[in-house]
Every structure is written in C-alpha cells, then in structure tokens.
Chain A
Amino acid sequence: METNEQSNKKRLEVVDSAGSLDETCKTFVFHNEDHTLGNSLRYMVMKNPEVQFCGYSVPHPSESKINFRIQTHGELGTDVLKKGLKDLNSVCEHVLATFQASVQDFKRRDVEMADG
C-alpha cells in the first residue's frame, strides 16, 4: 500500500528548463498531489498581483504528480509559490477556526432548545 508520506523522496522538484537562468519563470513538480492542492494553490497564486501567469496540469492520470507553472512580472518564482502556500494555509486556519466556532454555537443552541 502506498502511503501519502514518503519523506525519504523529495516531493517538490523544479523542472530544469534548458539551462535558463530566468528565476521569474518556473515549473514546479509536486509529487503525490492532484487537483486538490493544484487548483486551490493556483487560485491563491493568481490572486497575487505580481503574477503574470499561473497554471497547473496533471501530465498523466496514472502518475500521481502535477506540473505547476508560475510566471511573474519580476519577483522570484519560488517566493511567489511560498507566498501562495502561506496564504492558502492562513485561509485554512481561518476556515477551521470559523467552523469550530460555528459547531460550538450550534451545539450550545441545540442544548438550550432541548432544555427550554
């Protein structure tokens, strides 16, 4: 069985684009990821005004990896990617906190309804 944690293998790679030194255009390869992270991260990266283009593809359905392309107006591709990941993480944190508060609130109201 393949587990989702293969820590010995590097899960993030950068595609070597024929010796190009341009750090503003990069294609990353995320191993063991699919549309779940691909599309949500693409959205967060595209929200960055520094980004000229961002897109991803699943090169083959039986390979579990995605190609993730970033082109910027001048910032480093890796920095933009890192910002996207951090933004997505902070969104999740806020969604989680809001969800938990909402569940607590619902349960409290439920108890009050049962008592009253």
Chain B
Amino acid sequence: MNISEDTRTRVTLNEHGVDNVHSTDFPGEYPDFDDAWDFKKFKKNFRIDMIKMNDDELEFDMVGIDAAIANAFRRILLAEVPTMAIEKVHIYNNTSIIQDEVLAHRLGLIPIKADPRLFEYKSEGEDFSPEDTIIFQLKVKCTKNSQAKDTTDPDEMYKDHKVTTKHLKWIPMKGQDTIFKEGDLRPVNDDILIAKLRPGQEIDIRVFCNKGIGKDHAKFSPVATASYRLLPEIYLKSPVTGALAEKLQSCFSPGVIVIDTENGNKVARVANARKDTCSREVFRHDNLKDLVELKKVRDHFIFSVESTGILPPDILVEEAIKVLMKKCQDFILN
C-alpha cells in the first residue's frame, strides 16, 4: 500500500499516540485522487453486513461511509429517536418510606412498551389527549398475611410488599381501547422493583406517559447502548516464531493470534483481527514492538445497538436514519 493510500484509508496505532485520525478525502487534498462527491462511487463501495440480530441486540458492519455520517446515526440513536416515557405523576397517596420525588423519578425511568410512532408530541400547555398520552394506575396496599406462622421471610409474612412494574395498570383514554388491546401498552419488563411496603402502607398513583427524545431527558433514550468501533488490522512485518510467538499471542485478545506448527517450529499467524480490543499491549515489549503494525480501517464501522426493548433494534436504526433525513428535508425547504 502506498503512503497516501495508507493515510487516506487507515488509522495507525503507535506506541505513543494514534496517527491519521482525521478524514482527508476532500477535493484538493491529494493531487492524484478525485475526491469530489460522487453518488455512484459511494453506492458501489457502500455495504451493510448483519452479524447478529435478536429481539434487543443488533450488530452490523457499515462499510464505505465517513465517520461524520456514521457518528450522526449513533448520536441520533442515543438522543433523538423518540419513545414514550412517564412524564407526569399524580400522587394521591404515598405512605411508603420512599419519598414522593424519588418515587416519581424512579417511575420516569421505567421503559414503557408502546410504539412511539403511533403517538404525537404533547403540545405545551394543552391538556392530555388520547393521541399523545398513555395513563397507568399504580394502586397497591400492603397487608399482613394471617396464614403465615413462624417465619421471618417478608414474602410469606406480607402480601403485596413489593411494588413492581406488573402493578401498573393501563387506563385507556377515550377511544384508545379500540386501537390498542389489553397488553399492547405496558412496561417492557414486569419485574422492575419500584418500592417496598410494610403492612398498612399504601401507594396510590396515576402516571401520564408522553412522547419525548433523549436530548430532553435520558429516560426517553430508546437504547441501552449504541456504539461503533473501527475494524482493527494487524500486520506481522516478519515471521514471529518460538517463545516469541506465544508472547505475541498473549498480547492480544483470545482468538486474534493463532500458533501454527511448521516443521516442528511454532509460527504466529493473525487469525481474526476483528476480535482485537486494540489495547496496544504489544508495544510495551521491546522484542515485539518492531515486528507488528496495528491499524484500523477508517470506513469500516462495527455498530452495536442494544435496545431497551421498546422497539426492536433494527427498527431503531431505521428510525435514526429517517430522523437525519427529516433534518435535511426541513432545511432544504427553508
């Protein structure tokens, strides 16, 4: 690889510091490259490979795009894809030891399984309407279990002493029961502990969920994590053999370096650079540091998206892309 190709397409990891961090693929930067925007060229080079997908986790490779745009998708996933979350709490009675404001905050953070695309943003100053609000009731009173004898286990001594998300009961607003079935609108998990009670204590609360985005409050963020890393590359500049090969292997994550046996000699080989964490441990060893080159592919993003369970992760990524498109379209019209 020639030098300018290398600075353009790879980030280099050195013993002290990282080189070629910034994108330089702009017109006029290199005399022998045409870097003007070319949609056809982009289309030819761009690809997405799914690695892993289930109900709440997604891993995929996005190749052939600049960090500026990949980072926009990541930032939108964290802060600008809307969800429904508890926004107002009306406390009619709370005789538990947990304070009203703490309780209200805890309730706010509960992920609510409701498709945000079916709701509107609530406009400031206006009353709750079925188009923008979901109401739940939380009414629990703890009592003594008269059957319990000779026990110190609170689960047996008391009834309803643990208030969990399964106690949240959906109260349909006008017309909502024709659109949603029982169970369509509920907390994602029904075993989140909200408060603990003792006999005689009571919680009587009504909560109001609205649509919002993570920029406003983290409770609206639809992801547990959304991150990317660049694909690592490892080159061995000369053969690494014998005891040194084993030392080299121990410098990297498991599975990155394998040791082959050739004519009774141990020879190190890079098997799967993708598994590397890019720790740069290898540069701490004087007899190894000149034998390897560590790099990252500048336009190969390994995305990892973990949903809170409100929407499937693939839908979240789609929504994030749509949010960026909407931003562009809004300003094109201006």
Which residues of B are found within 8 Å of A94, using beta-carbon distances? 39, 42-43, 46
Q: Which among B23, B48, B50 is the interface contact of A43 at CB below 8 angstroms?
A: B23
Q: Contact at B216–A1, with CB atoms within 8 Å?
A: yes
Q: A4-B213, A40-B72 known; A49 and B328 CB under 8 Å?
A: no
Task: Please determine whether A85 and B121 come into contact, CB atoms closer than 8 angstroms.
Answer: no
Complex alpha-carbon distance, A90 and B210, angstroms: 32
Q: Are A48 and B80 interface neighbours, CB within 8 A?
A: no
Contacts of B60 in A (CB 8 A): 99, 102
Residue contact A85 to B331, C-beta cutoff 8 Å: yes
On whether the beta carbons of A89 and B37 are closer than 8 Å, the reply is: no
Q: Are B75 and A43 in contact (CB under 8 A)?
A: no
Q: Please give me the residue from chain B that is nearest to A93 by CB atom.
A: B325
- A82 to chain B minimum Cβ distance, whole angstroms, is 6
Asked if residues B216 and A2 are in contact (CB atoms below 8 Å), the reply is yes
Tell me how far the C-beta of B54 lies from the nearest C-beta in chain A, rounded to whole angstroms: 10
Q: A-facing mask of B92-130, CB < 8 A → 1, else 0? A: 000000000000000000000000000001111000000
Interface residues of B in 199-229 (CB under 8 A from A): 210, 212-213, 215-216
Which chain B residue shows the least CB distance to A101? Answer: B48
- Whether, in the assembled complex, B317 has its beta carbon less than 8 Å from a beta carbon of chain A, the answer is yes
**How far is the CB of A5 from the nearest CB of chain B, in Å?**
7
* Contact flags B5-36 to A (C-beta < 8 A → 1, else 0): 00000000000000000010111100000011
Interface residue count for A (Cβ, 8 Å)? Answer: 46
Give the distance in Å from the alpha carbon of A115 to the alpha carbon of B107 in the complex. Answer: 42
Q: Which residues of A contact B321 (CB under 8 A)?
A: 92, 95-96, 99
A36 and B124 alpha carbons, distance in the complex (Å): 26
Do B121 and A36 have beta carbons less than 8 Å apart?
A: no
Contact A11 B69 (CB under 8 A): no
B68 within 8 A of A: yes
Residues in chain B near residue A105, CB distance under 8 A: 50
Q: Which residues of A sit under 8 angstroms from B216, Cβ to Cβ? A: 1-2
Given contacts A3-B121, A12-B331, A103-B314, list 12 more A-B pairs with CB under 8 A: A3-B124, A34-B75, A35-B75, A39-B68, A48-B27, A48-B36, A51-B27, A91-B39, A92-B325, A93-B325, A95-B65, A99-B48
Going nearest first, the 7 A-B pairs with the smallest beta carbon separation are A43-B68, A47-B37, A106-B50, A89-B328, A49-B27, A40-B72, A12-B334
* Chain B residues within CB distance 8 Å of chain A: 23, 25-28, 35-37, 39, 42-43, 46-50, 53, 60, 62, 65-66, 68-69, 71-73, 75-76, 79-80, 87, 121-124, 210, 212-213, 215-216, 314, 317-318, 321-322, 324-325, 327-332, 334
Q: List 27 A-B contacts (CB under 8 A).
A: A1-B210, A4-B213, A36-B327, A40-B69, A46-B26, A47-B27, A47-B35, A47-B37, A51-B27, A82-B332, A85-B328, A85-B331, A86-B328, A89-B332, A92-B322, A92-B324, A94-B46, A95-B46, A98-B48, A99-B318, A99-B321, A102-B49, A103-B314, A105-B50, A106-B50, A107-B53, A110-B53
